[in-house]
Amino acid sequence: MATPDRPQITLITPPVLDLDVFPQTLARVMDGVEIACLRLSLATKDPDDIGRAADACRLVAHARDVAIVIENHALFAERHGLDGIHLTDGARSVRALRKDLGPDAIVGAYCGITRHEGMTAGEAGADYVSFGPIGDTGLGLGTQAPRDLFEWWTEMIEVPVIAEGALTRALVESFAPVSDFFAIGPEIWTAEDPLAALKSLLAPIL
């Protein structure tokens, strides 16, 4: 079981889901490691595909009392009984979606490496902010969210903070004292056994 001072886990889905297989894989992972939230992060823009994925993942998550949020597609959160939304454009839409979805919905915001963006999102009503990547992705400019950003945030700001992006076991150990959550997905889904991969990644805090 999670202890109060140990980061909780947000699980991020793969961008493409095989719904004949993935729900069983997801259930196995959730039964093996305590998960606080599932983030539906899909590449498709097809409404039917998004809806089917939302329904399938919601059934698995809610059966285990795990909240489920969807990236950016606010209408699907309401239509498919999801718990909220994860915004990838920082603070820009937080205030409007908080008003639209109501006080009980989860509204989270990815704020890159920008302290100011995170503070703005928190002030606009975000339930959490996420910063990242904390690891080396080899993408974009290669800029990483430094540990001292999380250290400052946890000391100064009450809004929970998520660390994500190219996590390694060493980064989990380093960032655990200064993060409320780790968001994990791409690090495990390509493994032959995603549950074993997750347990290995989280070994420093399990």
Query: 183 Cβ partners below 8 Å, 6+ apart?
Result: 9, 10, 11, 12, 39, 130, 132, 162, 163, 164
Instruction: Say if residue 154's pLDDT is above 50.
Output: yes
| 22-40: pLDDT as tens digits | 999 999 999 999 999 999 9
Could you give the CA distance from residue 66 to residue 63 in angstroms, rounded to a whole number? 8
- The CATH T-level fold of domain 8-201 is TIM Barrel (3.20.20)
Considering the entire predicted model, what is its pTM? 0.95
Dihedrals φ, ψ of 104, to 5°?
A: -85, -15
* Residue pair 68/58 in contact by the 8 Å Cβ criterion: yes
Residue 137 confidence (pLDDT): 83
Confidence of residue 5 (pLDDT cuts 50, 70, 90): confident
* Residue pair 32/195 in contact by the 8 Å Cβ criterion: yes
* Residue pair 55/22 in contact by the 8 Å Cβ criterion: no
Instruction: Give me the mean pLDDT over the 155-166 stretch.
Output: 97
Tokens 């974009």 correspond to what residue?
A: 140
Secondary element (H or E) of residue 118: helix 115-123
Query: 13 Cβ partners below 8 Å, 6+ apart?
Result: 22, 26, 38, 39, 40, 41, 42, 53, 57, 185
| 82-108: pLDDT as tens digits | 999 999 999 999 999 999 999 999 999
* Residue pair 122/157 in contact by the 8 Å Cβ criterion: yes
Confidence of residue 2 (pLDDT cuts 50, 70, 90): very low
